[in-house]
Structure 1
Amino acid sequence: MGRDNRKDGGLIAAGILLGVGLGGFVDGIVFHQILQWHNMLSSILPPTNLRDMKINMFFDGLFHAVAWLTTVIGLAVLWRGIKKDTISRSTPTFVGAMSLGWGLFNFVEGLIDHQLFGLHHVRPGAHELLWDIGFLASGLLLGGLGGALLRKGRALSTSRTQRSST
């Protein structure tokens, strides 16, 4: 139980960081760029003219820079652990940690940006609160899925350790 579970910590940290970063990219690419439902500051500075659109685009860029940096840090943690053989290689644990990270991103970003500060809403206008609640619910769903996969990964790791010690 000791060695494999100790190795899970690095894998979980890398997965959470990658999930947060990739979740940020999905949000920015899908909602900001492809669907163009909102920008980072669209509720407090609606992009109705070129100046305000440029300001929103700048803050969208900062948002993507943070998502990119988080992803790079997650890759560095993963690479360092693999290179030093201090990280387990469990698919359920890794996918679970990434799902947990994405869920954390959706829930925290939805709570802070959408509800607390009101910087933007998922889809402004009619039913915007329902869209925001759906985004928060997706965070809880992804987090719950991640937690279930992490438990499965730990159970598999424990059963492998028990079989190898007998």
Structure 2
Amino acid sequence: MKANLEQQQNPRPLIVAGLFLGLGQGGFFDGIVFHQILQWHHMFSNIESSKTIIGLEINTLGDGLFHVLDWLFTIIGIICLWRAGNREDVPWSTGILLGSVMMGAGLFNVVEGILDHHIFNLHHVKPGTHQLAWDIGFIAVGVLFILLGWWVIQKFSHLETTSK
């Protein structure tokens, strides 16, 4: 009976919820800390007119649209979490949720870093001296979060199946 119960456990819906929550929160952290508090860059800092009033208006719009995307990821994550919580086959695990949120935040860094900093060249983490190092560091932190989140999920999945 115990083995049968363990086989029925399905952490995927909880992981999907955590990934979306992590994407949203990773984006909010980036936008609030780097765009607003530190003011290192805005969404379209690399455009020629970014130092003008019109450039500031374009960047404010870009930052706002960026936050709308973060908000949508967060709402999707909340809906997925709600749906996962209503399923009996989903293990209700803080570790699995935390690990998947970490993975989502890391995924945000990797995707946003590659797309916006390198492919589209919209902005850099900290423009100027050593901007490539800052951009690569941003992606490296994302990879670290993905790996750490995966490890947390594996650790807690193992603990839960052996402790039930």
**Structure 1 residues 80 and 50: alpha-carbon distance in aligned structure 2, compared to 1, 3 A threshold:** same
Note the C-alpha offset of 1:70: 0.5
1:78 is matched by which residue type in structure 2? L
The answer to whether the Cα contact below 8 Å between 1:102 and 1:142 also exists between their aligned partners in 2 is yes
Q: Give yes or no for the alignment of 1:2 onto 2:27.
A: no
Q: Give yes or no for the alignment of 1:21 onto 2:24.
A: yes
- TM-score w.r.t. the length of structure 1 is 0.91
In structure 2, which of residues 27, 41, 44 is the aligned counterpart of residue 38 of structure 1?
A: 41
Note the C-alpha offset of 1:158: 2.1
Task: Give the corresponding residue for 2:3.
Answer: none
The answer to whether the Cα contact below 8 Å between 1:10 and 1:77 also exists between their aligned partners in 2 is yes
Task: Give the corresponding residue for 1:53.
Answer: 56
The answer to whether the Cα contact below 8 Å between 2:102 and 2:145 also exists between their aligned partners in 1 is yes
Aligned residues: 159
Q: Give yes or no for the alignment of 1:102 onto 2:105.
A: yes
The answer to whether the Cα contact below 8 Å between 2:8 and 2:89 also exists between their aligned partners in 1 is no
In structure 2, which of residues 65, 70, 85 is the aligned counterpart of residue 67 of structure 1?
A: 70
2:127 is matched by which residue type in structure 1? P
Task: Give the corresponding residue for 1:120.
Answer: 123
Note the C-alpha offset of 1:154: 1.5
Q: CA RMSD in A?
A: 1.2
Structure 2: tracts of 5 or more residues without a match: 1-5
Alignment partners' CA distance in 2, 1:86 and 1:61:
38
Task: Give the corresponding residue for 2:136.
Answer: 133
Aligned sequence identity (%): 47
Structure 1: tracts of 5 or more residues without a match: 162-166
Alignment partners' CA distance in 1, 2:81 and 2:16:
8
Which secondary structure does the structure 2 equivalent of 1:67 belong to?
helix
Note the C-alpha offset of 1:84: 4.0
Displacement over 6 Å in runs of 4+: none
Which secondary structure does the structure 2 equivalent of 1:94 belong to?
helix
